[in-house]
Amino acid sequence: MPADPPEQRPSDASEAADAAADVVIYYKSDGYTMSGARLMGRQSAGASFLAGYARHARSRDLVCMAPDRASAEEFGETTRRAAANGPRPLRSARWIPFDTPERLAETGCLFYPSPTVADQAWLRRAHDQRAWSLCGITHTTASDTVMEAIGGFAIAPLQSWDAVICTSKAVHDTLPNVLGEWGDYLCTRLGGNGPSAARLQLPVIPLGIDARAFTPDPDARAAFRREHDIARTAQFTAVDIDAATAAYARLIADADLRRRMGDAGRARARSVYDWSAIIPAYEALWDELAARRRADPEIAPSRQGARTTRCAMIPTGCSQAIRPIPCATTRRLRAARPTALWRRSPATPSTVPVRA
């Protein structure tokens, strides 16, 4: 990223409070780019979320957790471009390296674009379980990876100030059943002393869209019909033939009805599904998690002096693929003064340029 004029940065505690970010975005390019060779729905969802968040987040100072400075600069440039099309430009972008997870306490919440938050909970346990919340998201429960991740909730040190966003009611309704089956197994396996169901929050927040992208385009509409879109779509749609025939006949004969239904659909998309409505719902959730972190009881607090035996998974890009978290490090971190605990190493500057 080319050199830029210094961004405006808070110079004292009061200004920092005014500019505080709500969340740290876990950023690896693969989860947010549409230029890869093997595109999946999660990349489309991630790219759309990041653009929507950059445009509509109440904070103009964004923070990412990234494996290296190049990734952090990519985050800064991507969000800067997205915010340029929004109501307010960004002021700054900062980053937290993967190997300094304790610095998540500076913001208080990590948005992890996946339901696989259990490993992050184990990593947090080596520091302070109240220091930050975890917020994952799941779009489906159909894959074996997701099912295993949900099962991991039953034994992971997740707290009531953590959440996994469900993008549909169908996904939300599936999770308690999966967790219940894991809980039943663990109770049987451990002689009736298995863990209770995870107490993390499971809010339903729809996947957002950029409603502006759906502005009617007569030329695009005509081109779509030449490509036999109706025939292709019909192969995957089950309908009541008689009812559909009557409905189509009515629409074909009534231009005003078509216009009114189209207007109503666009209005609903803007008010319910546009990122301008979805991002505030995310922020309200993060506010709730922060309040719970201050007030709710902690599940399975770490015992003083106990060793951490769970290995913390360090994402690809760090010098170690996997390493145990030593209890001595944990004790030193807990004993450190807050100002020393979160002091940055000079070798890892955290601010990346955001051009005006």
Tens of pLDDT, residue by residue, the chain (356 residues): 333 323 333 333 333 334 477 899 999 988 888 776 776 777 888 899 999 999 999 999 999 999 999 999 999 999 999 999 888 888 888 999 999 999 999 999 999 999 999 999 999 999 999 999 999 999 877 777 788 888 888 889 999 999 999 999 988 988 888 888 888 888 888 776 655 666 899 999 999 988 888 777 778 777 766 766 666 666 667 788 899 899 999 999 999 999 999 899 888 988 899 999 999 999 999 999 999 999 999 988 877 655 554 444 434 333 333 333 344 444 444 444 333 323 333 344 466 665 54
**How confident is the model over 253-304, as pLDDT tens digits?**
999 999 999 899 888 988 899 999 999 999 999 999 999 999 999 988 877 6
Shortest CA distance to 302 belongs to which of 160, 152, 123, 115?
123
Place of tokens 């469900």: 166
Kindly report the number of other CB atoms within 10 A of residue 44's CB atom: 13
Phi, then psi, of 164 in degrees rounded to 5:
-125, 115
Residue 348 in 3-state DSSP?
Answer: coil
pLDDT the model gives residue 213: 80
Whether the CB-CB separation of 162 and 117 falls below 8 Å is answered with: yes
Per the document, the length of the chain is 356
DSSP-H helix ranges across the chain: 13-18, 41-56, 69-83, 118-125, 144-152, 169-189, 218-226, 229-234, 241-253, 255-268, 275-295, 327-335, 338-341
Query: Model confidence over 103-145: pLDDT tens digits?
Result: 999 999 999 999 999 999 999 999 999 999 999 999 877 777 7
* Amino acid code (one letter) for 200: L
Q: What is the pLDDT of residue 344?
A: 38
What is the pLDDT, as a whole number, of residue 295? Answer: 95
**Residue at token pair 């207007």:** 263
Confidence at residue 327, expressed as pLDDT on a 0 to 100 scale: 42
Tell me, what's the pLDDT at 305? 54
